[in-house]
Structure 1
Amino acid sequence: MIHVSDIRKYERCETLLWRTHHEPQPFFPFVHPSASISELAVRYFGLTDYYEGKPGDDAARALQALAKEDVLVNPRFEAQGVRIKVTLMRRGIHGFHVYFGYRSCYPHESEAQVIADHLSILHALQIEVEDVSILCLNADYVRRESLDVSSLLLVSDRLFNQKNRLRHTIRELCEPLLRPLEDIAAACQKCLAADVCPSSQRKGECTRGGRCRYFDACFPQALPDDSILYLQQSAHKLQMYAEGITRLQDVDPQRVEGFRFQYAQIAAARNGGLAIDRPALRQWLQDVIVYPITYLDFEWDTYAVPPYEGMRPYDVLCFQYSMDIEPNPQSALIHREFLGEEDCRITFLEQLLKDLPPEGVILVYNMEGAEKLRLRQLAKQFPAYAKRLEAVAARMADLSLLFSAGIVHHIRMHGMYSLKTLLPIFSAYSYQDLDISFGMDAVRQYREMKRCSKQERRVIRRQLLTYCGMDTYAEYVLLHALIALAKEKEADRPE
């Protein structure tokens, strides 16, 4: 039996559907696990007497419950070779009120086809639907001492457009998308029954909205550093590649969108591997670098359902920071660090304010979407600290801008500019030998630490401190590599 989610995978990529079933990968949620949307819906409506479906249920159970129950939570239905689960159904006068739950704040109109396929199955089973709504998290909700589910959830008969505004009704969006599903279910079954994975052809969907988790399995070949397939934000690279234009240095300039990062990639490929706008680099260093330099990095966990007072849906909780202070170019680094547990926000920010030098630049990496945003969230949650936190944010400078703006680019970056990518290019250091080497690994271990023995907790704490400390040390190493490059004459440029 095909699940409706399989249809979505199939329509994106047959290979994705096949690999998901035959080569499953462990799933780790980016968002902290908490109450499901169906659990929240039960509390929202104050439900006490209802049928509740379970994974693996025979679909006949839900059909039997329809005849005698007024409320169904997570019922499973099957028709036309497709299985569905509905978050909530409540009996009305002329049929059921059907609710589709999302543990997100803005279910977009792109969800209309999936909802329409659910409705097609209900229609095939002759289940009358009186109206259709979504249940999602209210982005404006601010938690007080206890969780108020009646304010946390938003119920609407509309979906959000790309500007996160409720506009078109679910009914009007879904009506033209209703379809019989027998043929596509049969196509999915045929795909899954194949003994070998369908052949893959690289297309925009492979990286749109983030790289597919099976990308490396589909395209395992190592590409040369100057491959045109690394060209970022390009709508034409796949077509050029198919035409035989495979190297960045041979790109057709008429088919380049004109982003500075793209031109930096092409310039690096044509210039022995490294492209530097030295005047811009020197100006940035002159404008930004004020001693003492503080290298700073945070680690945090994301919560869909706010666990503590003052938090909103999808706020984060900073549980760790690393800080390396360079008093002057001749001094050794001074290291400070913090690692808390549970609601450690006040302790985190008080220790941070205590550890930071009163002056000098605070150097971070990708600050607008990370450390600076975190400080502003904390300032909203704790207004008494707002002025001091805003002053800290005002001293921050973003080291990543030199790379994202194309001021410095090396073809070994392969179109990326994370610290983990850059460090082995511009130094002899790497994250590879660390027990924790990625941010989500840190989050996973942080969550696991709460369930471990004391001995295991000590090991994880040491690993977390080492990982976060590597981030700030990487900032230090990278800055000094850039300072050295800025001092070089054009003729001394490394190959």
Structure 2
Amino acid sequence: MNLIHVSDLLHFQQCSRLAYNYYTNKKPMESFYHLDVPYSELYCRLLNISEYGSGQTGDDNEASLKLLQENKYILNARFEYRQCRTKIPVLIKKEDGFCAVYPFLSSYPKEFEAQKMKINQIICEKLGVHINEHKVIYLNKDYVRKNELNIEECLILGNHFFNKRNNLGKEVDEVVNGVDVDVDALIDQVQSLFSKSIPEAVRSKKCTAGRRCRFYDFCFDESNQPDDSILFLTTSRHKLDLYEEGIQHIKDMKINKIEGFRLQYSQYMASLNGRFLDLGAIIPWISKIQYPISYLDFEWDTFAIPPYENMKPFDVLCFQYSLHVENEKHELSHCDFFSTGDCRKKFVESLIENIPSTGSILVYNMEGAEKLRLIQLSQQFPEYKNQLESIWTRMIDLSKPFELGVFYDNRMRGHYSLKNLLPIFTDEVSYKELEIQNGMNAVFAYRTYDHATIKQKEAIRQQISKYCAMDTYSEFIVYHGLLDVIEEEICQTL
């Protein structure tokens, strides 16, 4: 029999192919959140745990049961039942059993987490370990750090989950007790799955619901699909059914299957003609852009636990910006900023000093990114609020013509990220030439900077700076590419 983990059972409940992919394609997971100290150290402080037994990788049931006998508090206790292993973050011994504590790096632990808790409870019960209480630890989203971290205010020990609207919901134990799962049957199914060849990949709405499955491209090779494939129709409830019916091109679908989204209409028109441009919408948008034009992009890291004063849980720290400035003569200049540690104030001062005081500032997807970053910095450093506000009020979101379907080219293949757009407007520059090719790679490189050698630091800085500069140069290329398309369309209409 294969040695499996409770996570394999949970993945199987979502999708058999997902479970198989996780089991056979074990990729190293980089944390989205930056933690300066292990989370376990922080939640132990919250629980006032100073002495405890600690489970180790490879512990068998005998070793874990011994830990339970000898300690009131146990961290990372490992158990195995029928070749299925699991790990419980915290167990606290009580007179009538154990309390299991599950820490979450989030502010809103949801009810679906009860499935894992229930399976763990059943496995422990099979081994004679009675868990009769469950608690959760999560981050207080409203906590603002002062000079020192107050762990009792930053973390919350609770016994309720949160509902879909992020309001306090049902008690954890109520939800766990209501979970009905046949662990033995589930283990049999997963063991059987892993002993067979790879299961068939079946497209479903779950593959792209919310965040796209990390194994989507592994399951479905869409490189040979036509650029206007029905599979690339955005936000469509019908595309999978249409694909199964044999519809390949968006233009071949019935017009009544368009669900009222402007981008879908743009894709339909582009499928007919190669590309689509709404001159009536793009010209007023373009007319708002004034010289000098600043092309701006930030790189930042996200900290689950606020490391510096006036930061909240999940606040970000900007460590890099790139700024290309184009004057009325279409001359392009560039400057940037990079630093580590608490560089927030230096970042703000450098940006204020270097960005032109007039003209438009083009930013790609600014609302949830650069604009929000500046608003957060103005709250952390109110003495700079007016200068920062003068920057974000001049920002214009370069993504809007593409996001709203004002412009669509079949080669976008349903995506409108900057990296997808760049090849449409030029074949002379590419992200593929860079050591760092996406934002998360830049973040992971930044996290290694302080512990690197002098030579390594210089290389890391250059690689991150080149990547960020490519983003702002891409904004320049895309903007001027739009201008060229507009001019071409106008000439065709004359």
Into which bin does the TM-score normalised by the smaller protein fall? over 0.9
Measured in 1, the distance between the counterparts of 2:259 and 2:342 equals: 46
Deviation at 1:490, TM superposition (A): 5.4
Deviation at 1:76, TM superposition (A): 1.4
Q: Describe how 1:58-77 pairs up with structure 2 within 5 A.
A: 58-77=60-79
TM-score for both structures, normalised by structure 1 = 0.95
Contact 1:92–1:130 under 8 Å retained in 2: no
Deviation at 1:358, TM superposition (A): 1.0
Tell me what 2:333 maps to.
Answer: 334
Measured in 2, the distance between the counterparts of 1:283 and 1:244 equals: 40
Tell me what 1:448 maps to.
Answer: 448
1:76-100 deviation digits (Å, cap 9, x = unpaired): 1223543222121222343322211
Deviation at 1:300, TM superposition (A): 0.7
Contact 1:82–1:181 under 8 Å retained in 2: no
Contact 1:104–1:136 under 8 Å retained in 2: yes
Deviation at 1:33, TM superposition (A): 4.0
Contact 2:302–2:314 under 8 Å retained in 1: yes
When structure 1 is superposed on structure 2, of 120-129 and 83-92 the one drifting more is 120-129
Asked if residue 457 in structure 1 is aligned to residue 457 in structure 2, the reply is yes
Q: Describe how 1:294-309 pairs up with structure 2 within 5 A.
A: 294-309=294-309
Query: Structure 1 residues 491 and 11 mapped into 2: Cα distance closer, same or farther (>3 Å)?
Result: farther
Measured in 2, the distance between the counterparts of 1:221 and 1:298 equals: 31
Q: Describe how 1:239-250 pairs up with structure 2 within 5 A.
A: 239-250=241-252
Asked if residue 439 in structure 1 is aligned to residue 442 in structure 2, the reply is no
Measured in 2, the distance between the counterparts of 1:296 and 1:110 equals: 40
When structure 1 is superposed on structure 2, of 357-366 and 170-179 the one drifting more is 170-179
Which residue of the other structure, out of 138, 141, 160, is the alignment partner of 1:139? 141
When structure 1 is superposed on structure 2, of 79-88 and 258-267 the one drifting more is 79-88
Structure 1: gaps (5+ residues): none
Deviation at 1:189, TM superposition (A): 1.3
Deviation at 1:347, TM superposition (A): 0.4
Tell me what 1:253 maps to.
Answer: 255
Q: Describe how 1:42-441 pairs up with structure 2 within 5 A.
A: 42-79=44-81, 81-194=83-196, 196-222=197-223, 223-271=225-273, 273-286=274-287, 288-328=288-328, 330-428=329-427, 429-441=429-441
Contact 1:338–1:348 under 8 Å retained in 2: yes
1:9-42 deviation digits (Å, cap 9, x = unpaired): 1122222222222222232222224434332221
Contact 1:310–1:381 under 8 Å retained in 2: yes
Counterpart residue identity of residue 200, structure 2: S
Deviation at 1:207, TM superposition (A): 1.9
Measured in 2, the distance between the counterparts of 1:463 and 1:50 equals: 43
Deviation at 1:491, TM superposition (A): 6.8
Report percent identity of matched pairs: 40
Tell me what 2:32 maps to.
Answer: 30
When structure 1 is superposed on structure 2, of 116-125 and 99-108 the one drifting more is 116-125
Measured in 2, the distance between the counterparts of 1:158 and 1:468 equals: 42
When structure 1 is superposed on structure 2, of 6-15 and 61-70 the one drifting more is 61-70
Deviation at 1:126, TM superposition (A): 3.8
Q: Secondary structure at the match of 2:432?
A: coil
Contact 2:139–2:154 under 8 Å retained in 1: yes
Measured in 2, the distance between the counterparts of 1:220 and 1:453 equals: 41
Contact 1:72–1:89 under 8 Å retained in 2: yes
1:158-185 deviation digits (Å, cap 9, x = unpaired): 1111111111111222222132301111
Deviation at 1:340, TM superposition (A): 0.9
Query: Structure 1 residues 116 and 459 mapped into 2: Cα distance closer, same or farther (>3 Å)?
Result: same
Measured in 1, the distance between the counterparts of 2:377 and 2:270 equals: 40
Counterpart residue identity of residue 456, structure 2: E
When structure 1 is superposed on structure 2, of 438-447 and 126-135 the one drifting more is 126-135
Measured in 1, the distance between the counterparts of 2:20 and 2:357 equals: 57
Counterpart residue identity of residue 485, structure 2: L
1:454-488 deviation digits (Å, cap 9, x = unpaired): 12221221222111111111111111111222223
Structure 2: gaps (5+ residues): none
Which residue of the other structure, out of 4, 7, 10, is the alignment partner of 2:6? 4
Measured in 2, the distance between the counterparts of 1:70 and 1:257 equals: 58
Contact 1:10–1:16 under 8 Å retained in 2: yes
Query: Structure 1 residues 256 and 11 mapped into 2: Cα distance closer, same or farther (>3 Å)?
Result: farther
Query: Structure 1 residues 252 and 383 mapped into 2: Cα distance closer, same or farther (>3 Å)?
Result: same
RMSD over aligned Cα, in angstroms?
A: 1.8
When structure 1 is superposed on structure 2, of 474-483 and 200-209 the one drifting more is 200-209
Contact 1:372–1:393 under 8 Å retained in 2: yes
Q: Secondary structure at the match of 2:318?
A: strand
Measured in 1, the distance between the counterparts of 2:93 and 2:142 equals: 30
Measured in 2, the distance between the counterparts of 1:331 and 1:240 equals: 47
Counterpart residue identity of residue 283, structure 1: P
Q: Secondary structure at the match of 1:97?
A: strand
Where do 4+ consecutive residues of structure 1 move more than 4 Å? Answer: none
Q: Secondary structure at the match of 2:58?
A: coil
Contact 2:5–2:84 under 8 Å retained in 1: yes
When structure 1 is superposed on structure 2, of 139-148 and 159-168 the one drifting more is 139-148
Contact 1:294–1:362 under 8 Å retained in 2: yes
Q: Secondary structure at the match of 2:374?
A: helix
Counterpart residue identity of residue 276, structure 1: L
TM-score for both structures, normalised by structure 2 = 0.95
Deviation at 1:121, TM superposition (A): 2.1
1:320-353 deviation digits (Å, cap 9, x = unpaired): 001111121x231121111111111110000000
Counterpart residue identity of residue 76, structure 1: R
Q: How many residues align?
A: 489
Contact 1:364–1:399 under 8 Å retained in 2: yes
Measured in 2, the distance between the counterparts of 1:86 and 1:319 equals: 36
When structure 1 is superposed on structure 2, of 33-42 and 305-314 the one drifting more is 33-42
Contact 1:120–1:180 under 8 Å retained in 2: no
Counterpart residue identity of residue 182, structure 1: D
